[in-house]
Amino acid sequence: MPTADQNDILFERARAVIPGGVNSPVRAFKAVGGTPRFIRRAEGAYFWDANDKRYIDYIGSWGPMILGHGHPAVVEAVQKAVLEGFSYGAPTEREIELAEAILALVPSMEMVRLVSSGTEAAMSALRLARGATGRKHIVKFEGCYHGHADALLVKAGSGLATFGHPTSAGVPPEVTQHTLVLEYNNIAQLEEAFALHGNDIACLMIEAIAGNMNFVRATPAFAARCRELCTQHGALLVFDEVMTGFRVGLHGAQGVLGITPDLTVLGKVIGGGMPLAAFGGPRAIMEQLAPLGPVYQAGTLSGNPVATACGLATLKEIARPGFYEALGKKTRSLVEGLKAAAAAVGLPFNADSEGGMFGFFLMNELPQNYATVMTTDNAKFNALFHGLLDRGVYIAPALYEAGFMSAAHGDEDIAATVDAARQIFKALQAR
């Protein structure tokens, strides 16, 4: 009699008390089918599910675990911090230390405000941009995700440069009527939108390397045009680097592209796996924030003393010389190995990476926008996902998500991953 699958048992129990059995939708495996794995513990590049099955983890908590799980220096910092208290609701020196560390690594920032999630950081940056410019309109791009604040849960309107419609129930159209949703990497559409609305645009928010439609880079020309048009029209350029910050390189996507945004949104890696995010920019803009200025923003656990200890210890490790060279080499090794394995069986496949972030596509091109990514054969992706999962390799349970390498992944993990993929690619090609 096979032993009962503990993941099934836990999933059934979870669905009785938590909507969909999860506290964040992507974890429910709805896009790929099957039972989510309930994780009991993690260490280094691995985590173990409720059946005590080990997986090579390429989610890394969706980006934060860049050092791998349970880095000794980070564990020690958190253990020490909790003994001093969990939360005070009062300022601490450690918040200053983390702010100083972030500003040292993000030259476009003169000041930073710490919050508890990427959604909160992006939402607050948006409000600050509107408050600082006195304008209503905002620009975002199809396929970019900036958390679930109402004004950002928007899909493109019909026709060119028309205002967006809500993607979620519970968001009144009045809230999204000022959000323009454009096609990523479409310079002509961007220029049209600014020609029509430029002087009413408070900000353009973008993932300059987009990790929410798998892995799509803004072309240098497109990124430069975003910068030029924002400058020309007095709109603020906001780089949402919640995922790319300290992930694609020590200076994020803005460092890779050489573009200076007006505001930057950070999260994930800066919390090292604990609830911590941030947004920042020039002093003149940031000082519009309460308690100094008219733009209100607040948070009970903002700058939490344990989360800031975790973040600081993480930043200290990633700032060490050679960290990103070694991480980038590992990620490229995985990507090149997967491409070679797919080519060997003639499977249409391509992949890309930057620093510790990667993506792959079951097509020969590297998509430039969301519509192209979505032409992927879902059934093939799902077969790949479950084939890897069965072989102890855990990638994102959705084709529109990116993958994440950690410093703890070893050559043997990468070889095992490529080998598992090789076994599946052959079957995929035959479908």
The residues of the shown chain that bind ligand KE4, judged by CB under 6 A, are: 24, 26, 62, 117-119, 122, 145-147, 207, 211-212, 240, 242-243, 267, 277, 401
Catalytic member of 268, 324, 370, 413: 268
* Burial label, 338 (beta-carbon count in 10 A; 0-12, 13-18, 19+): buried
Q: Which of 55, 145, 370, 394 is catalytic?
A: 145
Question: Cβ of residue 212: shortest distance to ligand KE4, in angstroms?
Answer: 5
Between 361 and 425, whose beta carbon lies closer to ligand KE4?
361
Other CB atoms within a 10 A radius of the CB of residue 242 amount to 30
Select 137 or 140, whichever has its Cβ closest to ligand KE4.
140
Cβ-based nearer residue to ligand KE4, 248 or 327: 248
Residue 413 φ/ψ, nearest 5 degrees: -70, -40
Active site residue 426: no
| Set 55, 58, 140, 240: catalytic member | 240
**Widest CA span in the chain:** 70
Tokens of 164: 């967006």
Say whether 145 is catalytic. Answer: yes
Is-catalytic flag, 240?
yes
Minimum gap (Å) between residue 419 Cβ and ligand KE4? 27
What separation in angstroms does the CA of 391 have from each of 20, 228, 403?
A: 26, 48, 17
Distance (Å, whole) CA 328 – CA 353: 8
Asked if 208 and 191 count as a contact pair (C-beta separation under 8 A), the reply is no
CB 25 → ligand KE4: shortest distance, Å? Answer: 7
Q: Give the Cα separation of 227 and 187 in Å (integer).
A: 12
Q: Minimum distance between the CB of residue 57 and ligand KE4, rounded to whole angstroms? A: 14
Question: What residue type is assigned to position 346 of the chain?
Answer: G
Nearer residue to ligand KE4 within complex by CB, 24 or 158: 24
Dihedral angle over CA of 393, 353, 98, 140, nearest 10 = -110
CA distance 227 to 390: 45
Beta carbon nearer to ligand KE4, 211 or 328: 211
Query: Alpha-carbon distance 242 to 232, whole Å?
Result: 26
Least separation in angstroms between CB 122 and ligand KE4: 5
Comparing CB distances to ligand KE4, the nearer of 185 and 333 is 185
Provide, rounded to whole angstroms, the least separation between the CB of residue 320 and ligand KE4: 25
Label residue 364 exposed, middle or buried (CB < 10 Å: 0-12, 13-18, 19+).
exposed
Which positions are catalytic?
Answer: 145, 240, 268
